[in-house]
Amino acid sequence: MQIPSPSHLSSSQLLALAEDIKHWGIKLGFQHVGVSDIELSKAEEILFDWLKQGYHGDMDWMAKHGTKRSRPEELIPGTVRVISVRLDYLPESMQVCTELLKQPTKAYISRYALGRDYHKLMRKRLQQLADKILTTTDNLNIDNPGFRVFVDSAPVLEKAIAEKAGLGWIGKHTNLLQKQTGSWFFLGELYINLPLPVDAPAENHCGTCTNCLDVCPTKAFIAPYKLDARKCISYLTIENKGAIPVELRSQMGNRIYGCDDCQLFCPWNRFAEQTVEQDFNPRHNLNDVELLKLFNWSEQEFLNNLQGSAIRRIGYDAWLRNIAVALGNALATQSTQPENPVDREIRSALLARLNSESALVREHIQWALKQ
């Protein structure tokens, strides 16, 4: 779908409109709104090198669209600017999160997935922003304003775009960082055909720090700013549809959906504030729940309890696969202790599912029982 070109616009109209757009975005609940151009040649070079090395694993969609991901005007012809927005999501203190990682019988779920799936919430607000722009440009007699809303719904280099829009810099852990708030936020975009004034790109403030690289449980970072997704726990527990490599299972600990370590130990995140969005508050006590409780959910309970959650999309088999690994790791932490009731309960739960699930789940249960 092509965005038609607008008629002549004055610089004063564009400047005023850009300021209004930022104001409207904040009123809609976004924490930051910025504007960038569409020149992403440096980011494109980094992306293609990453793909060439095979670091994307089975995420074929990263390569599927060729240059459309790094050239917005190819994805949506007529695009000349991108409006980027930030929405904070951290639901609780980072101290609570780090303490949870020390409790092997409890589940650690990436903080972004504890509440409602962010896609619909952000898309709705971005569409409201787009509608406001449409109404305003109509009142200003600006012909043919065009825009498209994106929230992980198309091939978009959102972090590179957001960096150019001044929302933050891409840190050594490949996440976007902001000096005042850290990295606990979602991104969304509006592709637009209006030549709005652009914001200054963010400067990098990582310095010599390598905390994010050093704490990665599976050593997934090949170098600063370069992640081998095939070793990343987020990839292994979410995007990966097959077996988790045996050599990485023991390093996953109790992380059953995603991993936040590179954010939890980033010094800039000491400035992060908890979200004000009620939709991002934890559901079903997923921020403090025993692995066994989740492992004992039936498939219907899994579907019902995770209705409206990003977690649901991995499917029931992957859910059990991930928890089986975590339960195996919980058993391993007690291997030097006399058998206790928790140990027996874990083994009993694993054995109960050993002959009734898919081959994928059985393999991981068998591994867990050997721990």
Query: Catalytic residue positions?
Result: 152
pTM over 0.95: no
**Residues 233/199, Cβ–Cβ less than 8 Å:** no
- What pLDDT is recorded for position 10? 78
CA distance 174 to 18: 28
The DSSP annotation for 208-270 comes to T--HHHHH-TT--EEETTEE-GGG-HHIIIII--SPPPHHHHTTSTTEEE---HHHHT-GGGG
Per-residue confidence (pLDDT) for residue 340, from 0 to 100: 81
Give me the pLDDT at residue 134, please.
Answer: 85
Return the pLDDT at 142: 58
For residue 13, the model assigns a pLDDT of 83
Q: Classify burial at 136, counting beta carbons within 10 Å of its beta carbon; exposed 0-12, middle 13-18, buried 19 or more.
A: middle
The residue ranges of the chain whose pLDDT is under 70 are 1-9, 138-145, 335-339
Half-sphere exposure of 116 (CA within 13 A, CB side): 10
Sequence-ordered alpha helix ranges (H) in the chain: 11-27, 41-52, 61-64, 72-75, 94-100, 118-139, 158-164, 211-215, 233-234, 246-249, 261-264, 291-295, 299-305, 316-333, 341-353, 359-369
pLDDT in tens, 159-217: 999 999 999 999 999 999 999 999 999 999 999 999 999 999 999 999 999 999 999 99
Residue 338 is predicted with a pLDDT of: 60
Does domain 11-192 fall into CATH 3.40.50? no
**Parts of the chain belonging to CATH 3.40.109:** 11-192
